[in-house]
Structure 1
Amino acid sequence: MESRTSLASWQALTKHAQEMKHTHMRDLFDKNSERFAQFSIQLPPFLLDYSKNLIDSKTLTLLTELAKECEVEAWRDKMFSGERINSTEDRAVLHTALRNRSQKPIMLDGVNVTEEVQQSLNHIKAFSDKIRQGYWKGYSGKRITDVVNIGVGGSNLGPQMVTEALQQYSDNSINVHYVSNVDGTQIANVLRPLNPEKVLFIISSKTFTTTETMTNARTAMKWLVSASFDESAIAKHFVAVSSNKKNAMEFGIDKENIFDMWDWVGGRFSLWSAIGLPIAIDLGFDNFIELLEGAFEIDEHFCRAPLEQNAPVILALLSLWNCTFLGAQSQAILPYDQSLHMLSAYLQQAEMESNGKSVTWDGDEITYPTVPSIWGELGINGQHAFYQYLHQSNNVVPADFIGSVESVTPVQGHHETLMANFFAQTQALMAGVNEEQVRADLKAKGRTQDYIDKVSPHKIHKGNRPTNTILMKRISPRSLGSLIALYEHKIFVQGILLQICSFDQWGVELGKGLANEIQKEIESGEVTQNHDSSTLGLINYFKTLSKETVHNAS
């Protein structure tokens, strides 16, 4: 397959990037009073302003040409129709089918996926209603008051991010907790205040073999059985989201309490499926559907809007421009809404696990920079932590600023202060302040010439730091669904542009496989010599101190 670098648009962008590196965004804004209107997209769920990027009309034209040469639209249609675009695992990629509100049939291997999804939604509705209305009873006949979701990766990050973002939409009739870390501290802290008679566990694992998840699940099972003195209680306190019904049933979960998962849904794109069961239980099924509706709205936009007016496509092209052509190595996700405090972590997994790859579809080594590392924090907290780095370090970090017009919890004067900072930061990152401005400001404040000469270099901000601004009306189930889908499609387009398979995660598998072998060695006490000296030394040090701890305790 032809390398991306051989495309005419790629080569033109390489040359254009060298020209733009000598341009400042201040000058672009000074020359074009219509820049905001030209480089922004307004959709019902949000406004996307990307004018504060180091681009001009030529940049956008070349980037759009690249998207066409890479056949982004054709690949998009393949994904939505169920073609097996996950080539390394020979799977379709159909998380969009989970929120296909049009009910249009989607056929995969002779099966109408849309019908299967609807059956799963019916199952989610019936079960979540039963829990919320108190009809589901525990082993002692008491209603469920707490739900503990046990999963890892997308099985945890997705539903937890959503339920915490939408707390204001919960009636608090059920308390939802999350356990993902195999460090026993987390599950111990979660279980300690709970009443076993009133707890429901959701075990979310596609294979029902994930080591971390199953370790926590077995601990939860022992906790329950030690309280109930009856293994049959498992059936009344455990349900599963899995494609491996055999393993789930052997664990003690009734067949009718196993929710479907499919191999055409990747974990980091799965919150729209039964992985979202905690969302439906916490917020109510109607709000879960609103989440799906919001995502579907962006699916429709992604499928119908021209490339140059297509929000996910624009975000993907800008990421490529900033990272691959201009050399940025990381990107910050900066939500200015307390509700979105987990969004940075969620998008970190979604993008980096999807596109953190170094070979093309054909297995050839990639010779160009691909996606940046993703990191971030709530806006105001970040301002007093790492924004100094964003403003004045030698490394340019593009950033997405995400805010809302209305607060979900209005407190007089607070939201205005928050949003004043929101707007000011992108302006400061773009414009900066030059030496002439610094000196004039210090002089106006009556500073001495010696002081001005000494301090001026430290107060200069070069600016020219790219940002995107996403401004929502209000955080709601529908708008959050739209925001998540926006980034999902951005990630997909990035993968097409870079010739990366976005839907496998072989890098994750390597470490897990090694961990399984080392765990066997630790438990058996027979450590092999098939390790490098560092790893062997660390294992032996751990074993020695563990023995001393046990000895001292006895």
Structure 2
Amino acid sequence: MSLNPASENPKSVFRAADIVLDSAYQGIDTKSWQSLFAQARSAKVEQFIADLFAGKHVNASEDRPALHSALRNLDQKPVLVDGKDVMPAVADVWHRIEALSNKWVGVTDVIHIGIGGSDFGPRLAIEALAHVPDIETRGMRMHFLANIDTAELGRILQRALPHSTRVIIVSKSFTTLETTKNAKAVVRWLKDSGRTESQIHNALFAVTANVPAAKAFGVQEEHIYPFWDWVGGRYSVWSAVGLPIALQYGFDTFKEFLAGAQAIDQHYRTAPLEENLPVLMALTLLYQQEQHGIKSFAVIPYADALDWFPKWLQQLDMESNGKSVDRNGKPVQFSCPVVFGSSGSNAQHSYFQLLHQGKEVIPIDFIAIREPMSHLPEAKEHHRILLSNCLAQAQALANGKQTDNPNNTYPGKRPSNLLILPKLNAFYLGALLALYENRATILGVLWNINSFDQPGVELGKVLAKPIEAALNNSATVAADANIDAITAQRINLFNS
């Protein structure tokens, strides 16, 4: 049985910036949509959107705006933060990025050091755009160094050529442990390779909100690219955090990336709720929570170029909205489900068994691209097969199949959205990321959650310090105020 009988089908196809959203398989009838829009208005979604773009302090716990949209405000219309227009400072960084992207000659390797929001966005963009047919590229090797595990560091240093390497250290605070430790290791490698102090200084660049700390580390002031406390790390790829995009593919490509995001922002800001793609996508998830108590959500891009997209979305969604209390400190009824996914059709041969016949209902966003991603002779045929798999999986999940054999019965009524991009290039990649960013903020409003802080990541960092000290000492460890009995026992296992 279909999720939406034809007689009950409301409008299901919507468009923004040439991206199509088809929500027909969500199983939401007209009456339910009306109720969802009433909930959105009750939650003051429209007022939130206006406040967000106006630079109001929507991040209440940290008493600051969340103005990542200003970073892609290519029209440079004034954006005020506490009465001051931030656009001149943003535009100055654009000019500096453009100048640097036109300047580098003979660079073979770029080591981009950052973790979390300082890593996922630029890594995703570099990987995705590498698949765009005929894209202009400088052909530098872009290495992303995030993990404190030296295996990643070792692989990079084995490949990079020290005398033609540039290093970009990305940290909003410039105190992130993994980033600073990895940066020091790369500087040591440059020294051991025979580079002089002057050459090392010329090779180091930084992107940070803490300019004094970057200077103290040894980065020349003219090599420091600022971003601001009103930019959250997971929303920061539009800032100088996205510098690798301009360096590898040119500043015009970086501008196209920003332009795609800006196009979605303009839609998000002006479209009525009933036509607003980020709002509609947020409401479909809320509906499935209310109807089925869903605990997980999958995003499946039928494009190998977007294989990193689910990883980026995991941080965006779960760090923004993975909370159990609301803005007022009260328990929430719903918050962010577990996010997972990978590229189709590979995913079909992994966990789609669970999606089709598992006990849990897991909503899915399918993402498809109209045009093939190569000029190979087989491209059109392969792409047709890829798209047919995408459409077939959505249909099978929605309609299911009843048989006399329980093992071959598919329950169906598994909801999904379909997003269609005209092609994958910098513009539509930017639009796609901004679409999900804005969706995440709307979900925060609907759940009454602050989508712009992340206090839950701090406790483990604090506890890691005394544990590291204990691991550095061969003496037997006993439980104390900082280390409980089980962890003390585990430290002793490592130290024995």
Which TM-score band applies after superposition, normalised by the shorter structure? Answer: over 0.9
* Offset at residue 43 of structure 1 (A): 2.8
Match of 2:357 in 1: 392
Q: CA deviation at 1:25?
A: 3.4
1:173 to partner: Cα distance: 3.0
> Which residues of 2 match residues 221-300 of structure 1 at below 5 A?
221-228=187-194, 230-300=196-266
Whether 1:84 aligns to 2:57 is: yes
**1:93-115 deviation digits (Å, cap 9, x = unpaired):** 00000001221101113321111
Name 1:404's counterpart in structure 2. Answer: 369
Aligned match of 2:494: 542
Read off the aligned partner of 1:490 and give its amino acid letter: R
From 46, 50, 55, give the equivalent of 2:19.
46
Which of the residues 117, 123, 128 maps onto 2:96? 123
2:440 aligned residue: 491
Greater mean deviation of Cα atoms: 164-173 or 533-542: 164-173
> What amino acid is aligned across from residue 204 of structure 1 in structure 2?
V
In the TM superposition, what is the alpha-carbon distance from 1:244 to its structure 2 partner? 1.2
**Distance (whole Å) between structure 1 residues aligned to residue 324 and residue 264 of structure 2:** 29
Among candidates 155, 164, 169, match of residue 127 of structure 2: 164
Q: 1:346, CA displacement in angstroms? A: 0.4
Between 218-227 and 122-131, report the one with greater CA deviation.
122-131
User: Which residue is 1:3 aligned to?
Assistant: none
- Paired residues of 1:225 and 1:233 also in contact (CA < 8 A): no
Deviation (angstroms), 1:524: 4.6
The equivalent residue for 2:87 is 114
4+ residue runs over 6 A deviation: none
Q: Could you say what secondary structure the match of 1:25 adopts?
A: coil
The AA in structure 2 aligned to 1:83 is: K
Q: In structure 2, what is the equivalent of residue 434 of structure 1?
A: 402
| Counterpart in the other structure of 1:31 | 7
1:534 deviation in Å? Answer: 1.4
- Which letter maps to 1:255? E
Shift of 1:234: 2.1
Measured against aligned partners, the alpha-carbon deviations of 1:272-317 in whole angstroms (never above 9, x if no partner) come to: 0000001111111100000000000000100111101100000111
Question: Which whole-Å deviations, capped at 9, do the CAs of 1:489-516 have from their partners, x for residues lacking one?
Answer: 0000000010101111111111111112
One-letter amino acid of the structure 2 residue matched with residue 503 of structure 1: F
Aligned to 1:516: 465
User: How many angstroms apart in 2 are the aligned matches of 1:247 and 1:228?
Assistant: 26
Give 5+ residue unaligned stretches, structure 1: 1-23, 135-142, 440-455, 545-554
Deviation by residue 1:459-489 (Cα, 9 ceiling, x = unmatched): 1111000000001111010011111111000
Task: Describe the superposition over 1:428-448 as per-residue Cα deviations: whole angstroms up to 9, x where unpaired.
Answer: 00011112xxx6xxxxxxxxx
Residue type of the partner of 2:445?
I
Q: Which residue of structure 2 lines up, in the alignment, with residue 103 of structure 1?
A: 76
**Share of identical aligned residues, percent?**
39
Q: Distance in 1 between matches of 2:261 and 2:329?
A: 32
Question: Partners in 2 of 1:25 and 1:116 — Cα distance?
Answer: 53
Structure 2 counterpart of 1:148: 111
Q: 2:316 touches 2:437 (CA, 8 Å); kept in 1?
A: yes
The whole-number CA distance in structure 1 between the counterparts of 2:65 and 2:437 is 16
CA contact (8 A) 1:147 1:202 kept: yes
Counterpart residue number, 1:62: 35
- Which of 164, 170, 174 is the equivalent residue of 1:198? 164
Query: How far apart, in 1, do the equivalents of 2:49 and 2:2 lie?
Result: 32
Question: Structure 1: how far apart are the matches of 2:84 and 2:192?
Answer: 44
The answer to whether the Cα contact below 8 Å between 1:400 and 1:470 also exists between their aligned partners in 2 is yes
Q: How many residues align?
A: 487
After TM superposition, the structure 1 = structure 2 runs for residues 370-519 of structure 1, keeping only pairs within 5 Å, are 370-411=335-376, 412=378, 413-435=381-403, 456-519=405-468
Aligned residues of 2:17 and 2:264 also touching (Cα < 8 A): no
In 1, the alpha carbon distance for the partners of 2:329 and 2:451 equals 13
Cα distance, 1:52 vs structure 2: 0.3
| Of 85-94 and 42-51, the range deviating more from structure 2 | 42-51
State how 1:350-361 maps to structure 2 within 5 Å. Answer: 350-361=316-327
String of CA shifts for 1:500-550, please: whole Å, max 9, x gaps.
011111111111111123223323556462222211111111122xxxxxx
Q: More deviation in 224-233 or 276-285?
A: 224-233
Which amino acid is 2:300 matched to?
L
Aligned letter for 1:536? A
Amino acid of the structure 2 residue aligned with 1:81: A
d(CA) in 2 for partners of 1:228, 1:125: 31
- Secondary structure of the 2:345 match is helix
TM-score norm. by structure 2 comes to 0.96
Q: Distance in 2 between matches of 1:59 and 1:229?
A: 66
Paired residue type of 1:192: Q
Q: Distance in 1 between matches of 2:269 and 2:374?
A: 34
Residue deviations 1:165-191 (CA, integer Å, cap 9, x gap): 001324243221101010000011011
Instruction: Spell out, residue by residue over 1:104-142, the C-alpha distance to the aligned partner (whole angstroms, 9 max, x if none).
Output: 1011133211111101111111112111xx1xxxxxxxx
Q: How big is each residue's C-alpha offset from its partner over 1:20-71, in whole Å with a ceiling of 9 and x where there is no partner? A: xxxx534x33435xx3x71110233311001101210011100000100110
| CA displacement 1:372-426 (0-9 Å, x = unmatched) | 1100111111101110100011111000000101012144211011111011000
The answer on whether the counterparts of 1:334 and 1:400 sit within 8 Å (CA) in structure 2 is yes
2:141 corresponds to = 175
CA shift at 1:252, angstroms?
1.1
Question: Which of the two has greater helix per residue?
Answer: 1
Q: Bigger CA drift: 316-325 or 521-530? A: 521-530
Alpha-carbon RMSD across the aligned residues, in angstroms, is 1.4
Cα pair 2:478 2:485 within 8 Å, conserved? no
Measured in 2, the distance between the counterparts of 1:325 and 1:164 equals 37
Q: Is the 8 A contact 1:41 1:311 kept in 2?
A: yes
SS in 2 for 1:259: strand
Q: 1:324 to 1:295 in 2, by over 3 A?
A: same
- Is the CA contact (8 Å cut-off) linking 2:302 and 2:368 kept in structure 1? yes
- 2:222 is aligned with what amino acid? E
SS in structure 1 of the partner of residue 179 of structure 2: helix
**Alpha-carbon distance in 2 for matches of 1:499, 1:186:** 39
Q: 2:365 is paired with a residue of what secondary structure?
A: strand
